[in-house]
Amino acid sequence: MTFRDIALICFAAASVIHGAQTVLAAMLVRMHRKNMTEIVGGIAAFLWQFGSFVFVLALMPAFDGPRPGWQTVLRAGNLLRESILVSFPLLFSYLCLQIPPGDTSASRLLLKLAQSMRYLLLPPTAVALVTVMAANIGLPLPFLSEDLVIQITLHVMLFYFLIFTFATLSRRGSARSSGVAALVRAHKATVVASLVAVIAFVLMLSPYWRLPTPFVQYFGLAAMLTSVPFTISGAYSFYQYPFMDAFIREVLSGVILLAAFVAALSASRSALWITLCGVVLAYLKAPLTRWVERTFLGYEESVEDQEERIGTAIRALTQLDEFSARVSEILSKELEAEWIEIGLKPRPGAVNEFPIPGSGLLLLLGPRASGRQFMSRQLRIARTAALQLAAHHHQLHQQKLQELRARAEIRALRAQINPHFLFNTLNVLANLIHSNPEKAERVTEGLAEIFRYALESTRVEWVTLNDELEFLQSYLAIEKARFEERLSYSFDVDAHTRSLKIPPMILQPLVENAIKHGIAPEVNGGSMKISGRAMSDSFLIAIEDTGAGRRNGSRHPGTGIGLKNVRERLLQVYGDAAMLKLEDIDSGGTRATLTLPQPVGVHS
């Protein structure tokens, strides 16, 4: 492969790179975020590389000979690249206006000098353009040669590359103090690109200084291609185009694959070899792209892995009340944003917004840390997160509705029980007021305690077993006043289990059921025993009565409203982990056994 072959491939790749970068700059201008300097710089770099491509193409042996038209192409290509070349110093002076000031007074002074030279460079640039145009149309100026103009231009460009390098080095402290890894990497990339440009230009200009330099034509080609790393690193450092990460990923991986393919072609040009190389390089594309992302962009995990991790964190949220705050915390950290929130309408200061489908909400992204822009990766993650939020928000909303419905059913159950119990108690009080006023007073106080507990239990989801037992004692004391000697009761509950948590009023329907269907139908009444024992992985509460059993048909076989409501509440609270069992006792009566999982009964 000849030097012209290599140069042709390099200029073609550089033209594509600068063309894509110019499109990215145009997208930002359309979004009213940047001025025209980036577009002008991108167009100039593209025309410079494309003009060099056309010039080398016209010099290829395949176009020599009787093709006079290619002489015109040759002149046009040379005119284009030299016109852009002599314009670069003036363009660099305007690009200096976009470079942030350095951390030292010397760097700021040099930067101001480079910026102020734009006024001095206007006349020389115009003269240089006239000289280049005259030389290419065959009318050279008598007082100024084309070679001299090019030589002066290259030395001025070297001066600007030195200023760029010095200004970049002086911002080292600011990049490190920011604590943002992307800025540190961008700063290092800009330093490397600037040093490469300086070294390449020094080696290219060494013949003008009468210094012997081997492979000078290759160094000249390298100097001409320094616009690629220099503009890419500069754009990543200062402008942070939204799709700059995708641009760097695809360009670098593509250039590496292109270089590998060209090297393979130099070994052999057989169809089998070219096909084999193409297949191998196609398989290497994915791992090479991941390597570029890790090395140059700092993405330690793939975007798919990060999306899955964020989705897992979102799905772990179980409370709708904390949904917005926790999501904001998760995404702000993942996207390196100053703030992220979920709202019904746009918020001033938001730089991006994504609708959350089906919810009427917006995912609002505040500015990115350190004044950078969100890259295409962060924008993709935000869009994916909005879809994940939509699905999980709907699920949490449905769970919230189920909880509210369950609470309403519990309140309705209490409303049914309380009037029934109140009616019986009022009858007891009516009989006791005249016959036994003191006992009527105790019943009234017990009734007040019962309704106070019932009212407070509507505001909480859990109570201690001890609170529930004290409530049952007050309840049974009133029933004792009603049934007198026909009812007796006792409690046998382990002391260390009384601090366990259970749903409020879960035992009262069982006690009421035992009295109503077991003891009340018996002429002599009966006794009731409430016991509680902790097992290895569960907690058992048994309510036994010596009244009428289920076999004589005086009570329903476990399908009454009270028992049904208890089972529904257990299913709502515990799922399949709790159980209610109703069975006859051999000696007579019925036993209701409630089995609850012990982990819920944590001490508090």
Q: pLDDT tens digit string along 25-51?
A: 777 666 555 556 667 878 888 888 888
CA distance 57 to 51: 10
Helix count (H) and strand count (E) of the chain? 18, 10
Residue type (1 letter), 530? I
pLDDT at position 558 is 47
- In this structure, what CATH number is given to the domain that contains residue 174? 1.20.1070
Q: For the chain, what is the domain count?
A: 4
Whether 134 and 147 share a structural domain:
yes
Contact predicate 253/288, CB 8 Å: yes
Residue 411 lies in a domain: no
3-state helix/strand/coil string of 240-287: CCCCHHHHHHHHHHHHHHHHHHHHHHHHCCCHHHHHHHHHHHHHHHHH
**Contact criterion met (CB below 8 Å) for 459 and 445:** no
Tell whether 69 and 201 lie within a shared domain: yes
- Give backbone dihedrals phi and psi of 97, rounded to 5 degrees, phi first: -65, -25
273 and 309 share one domain: no
Q: Residue type at 116?
A: S
The one-character DSSP state at 575 is: G
Encode pLDDT of 346-395 as tens digits: 888 888 888 888 777 888 898 887 777 788 888 889 989 888 888 877 77
Match 């040379």 to its residue by tokens: 78
pLDDT of residue 417: 54
Residue 603: its pLDDT value, please? 41
Are 136 and 66 in a shared domain?
Answer: yes
| Domain's final residue, options 397, 415, 447 | 397
Instruction: Indicate whether 208 and 335 sit together in one domain.
Output: no
Going by the DSSP 8-state scheme, the letter that residue 368 receives in this structure is: B
Residues 472, 562, single domain; the answer is: yes
- Residue 60 and residue 195 in one domain: yes
* Helix H or strand E encompassing 533: strand 526-534
Amino acid at position 101, single letter: P
- Do 444 and 540 have their domain in common? yes
Whether residue 429 is contained in a domain is answered as no
* 189 shares its domain with 253: no
Query: Cα(367)–Cα(341) distance, rounded to whole angstroms?
Result: 12
**CATH value at residue 532:** 3.30.565.10
Co-location of 141 and 229 in the same domain: yes
Q: Is the pTM here over 0.85, yes or no?
A: no
The predicted structure's pLDDT at residue 600: 42
Which stretches of the chain drop beneath a pLDDT of 50? 64-66, 554-559, 599-604
| 308 and 282 within one domain | no
For residue 320, tell me if it sits in a domain: yes
Residue 417 lies in a domain: no
pLDDT of res. 234? 67
pLDDT-above-70 percentage for the chain:
84
Phi-psi region of 371 (alpha: psi -120 to 50; beta: other; left: phi over 0): left
Listed residues 222, 242, 262: the one ending a domain: 242
**Positive or negative torsion for Cα 28, 33, 34, 40:** positive
Q: Do residues 232 and 186 make contact, with C-beta atoms less than 8 angstroms apart? A: no
> Which residues, listed in sequence order, are joined to residue 542 by a DSSP beta bridge?
531, 593
Please list the residues that pair with 464 across neighbouring strands. 501
Q: Domain check: are 177 and 236 in the same one?
A: yes
Strands 526-534 and 487-493: parallel
Residues spanned by the domain of 21: 3-242
Q: Is residue 407 part of a domain?
A: no
